Structure 1
């Protein structure tokens, strides 16, 4: 890691870390170095098209993923925690890819925001890994899907599309489903897991807000109404439907008001 001296090189190093625990630890350490002013504002390092991944878990198409159940049994809670860990692992890469791919053309605050998000996502992954270990399980024990990185590849040349799809569709989905997940975990007596998901939920409101704020700035610079441009980009770049029910209050806290996603559930 001592050879990593710039923001671009840091993003590449995180993306190419194949071991999930090492990726999370590296994300946290490089975020700390960035905050200390120890990474040069240089983006001349080429980023990989895909992040490195371990041999496990097996990656399946989303349509082939087994059903998880509703968190009542220990087995279903392990499956839930594993799925969340997979999302957070991908989110580490998505955050650093945003900083490394788009940061050079944006104000310094953009890079600071996305490196901060990468730090949060790494912390989330480690919290979920600890909960899996408490059940005698580990990330990689179950299959996972590759849909999250497909969204990154589809938006690799368009920052507005990336900000529309990743934080404001994919992460916003977590705002919709987390309250019910937390309630089911508490009903099952698993307060420790519920507390982790609660922490993630609160942080993700802030992540969606970061995406929304930068998306609005891009739209203002281009003279485009943010809700209209958002819906247009989602229809172009997001496969599938933006599914209800929506957590309108949490979305509104993040700036993602109803006029952004009205009608997209019929897309």
Structure 2
């Protein structure tokens, strides 16, 4: 029987976006149906495969996209979000397969379900871009999310602290304002898509917090204190407000974690 690690590696090694979506959906469906073995017999690649487009630039070379007030700005923002969701497919499957042997089977259940969500998010954003006369790859993008994954490849707690509990949690802070801007511009379809993604991301951050706290308890660590220490050493960004405390609380990420270092 094919292992979950082998299925995850196929996802990461698939470059073409819609093929990656299909591979992710196939792996998630096979896992749910018990057709993949809970076994970690292959290593994950250091970097996932990437298509020829979009051009990947360092963050400091990315063109300014504005806040979504103009049509051009909204397209740029939708493209940036599509890229985040595209990378997030790999992040979820890498999380499940790279660290799954360190956790109960339910860890894999959670992160494979996240991978399926991210594949769906990318697909609907890509479809929305096409309906507006653009496409994924039409603009440059940056690979900061995967840089965070590379930096935490050897430490499950660091990966949980940085990716779902810092980077994805930031999305909870900024998305409601973005949804309002799209509504204000009359783009209600895009606004509804972003709100759907926002609702799913609360659950994703909750998975990160849950497994971080389980691992800390097993290791005799205080979760909030250890998270702050890991953010201080492993996170290249800055924990800054304004914070969506309500959404963060729903995800279990209370101010005990971020209030002292914001």
2: distance between equivalents of 1:226 and 1:81? 34
The partner residue of 1:54 within 39, 51, 54 is 51
Following superposition, which runs of at least 4 residues in structure 1 exceed 3 angstroms of deviation? none
CA distance in 2, matches of 1:133, 1:26: 21
Q: TM-score, normalised by structure 1?
A: 0.96
Q: Give distance in 2, aligned partners of 1:264 and 1:29.
A: 41
User: Which residue of structure 1 aligns with residue 107 of structure 2?
Assistant: 110
Please tell me the root mean square deviation across aligned C-alpha atoms, in Å. Answer: 0.9
**1:257 counterpart residue number:** 254
- TM-score of the superposition, structure 2-length normalised? 0.98
Cα distance in 1 for residues equivalent to 2:214 and 2:81: 30
Counterpart CA distance in 2 for 1:15 and 1:29 is 13
Does 2:81 align with 1:84? yes
Distance in 2 (alpha carbons) for counterparts of 1:228 and 1:105 = 22
Aligned length, in residue pairs: 262
What does the per-residue CA deviation read over 1:32-71, in whole Å, with 9 as the maximum and x for residues that have no partner?
A: 1110001111111121100000111111111111111121
Q: How does 1:159-238 map to 2 (within 5 A)?
A: 159-238=156-235
Supply the distance in 2 between the matched residues of 1:150 and 1:236 (Cα, whole angstroms): 14
State whether residues 241 and 264 of structure 1, in contact with CA within 8 Å, keep that contact through their aligned partners in structure 2: no
- The 1-side partners of 2:237 and 2:74 are apart by 27
Choose the corresponding residue for 1:40, options 37, 41, 44: 37
Inter-partner Cα distance in structure 1 for 2:86 and 2:136: 10
Task: State the alpha-carbon separation in 2 of the partners of residues 124 and 243 from structure 1.
Answer: 26
Structure 2 residue ranges without an equivalent (≥5): none
Q: CA deviation at 1:222?
A: 1.1
Separation of aligned partners in 2, 1:258 and 1:23: 36
Residue 246 of structure 1 is matched in structure 2 by 243
SS in 2 for 1:59: coil
Question: Which residue in the other structure is 2:21 paired with?
Answer: 24
Post-superposition Cα deviations, 1:155-183, rounded to whole Å, max 9, x if no partner, equal 11100000000000010010000000000
Displacement after TM superposition at 1:240 (Å): 2.3
- The runs of 5 or more residues in structure 1 that have no matched partner are none
Deviation of 1:263 after TM superposition, in Å, equals 3.3
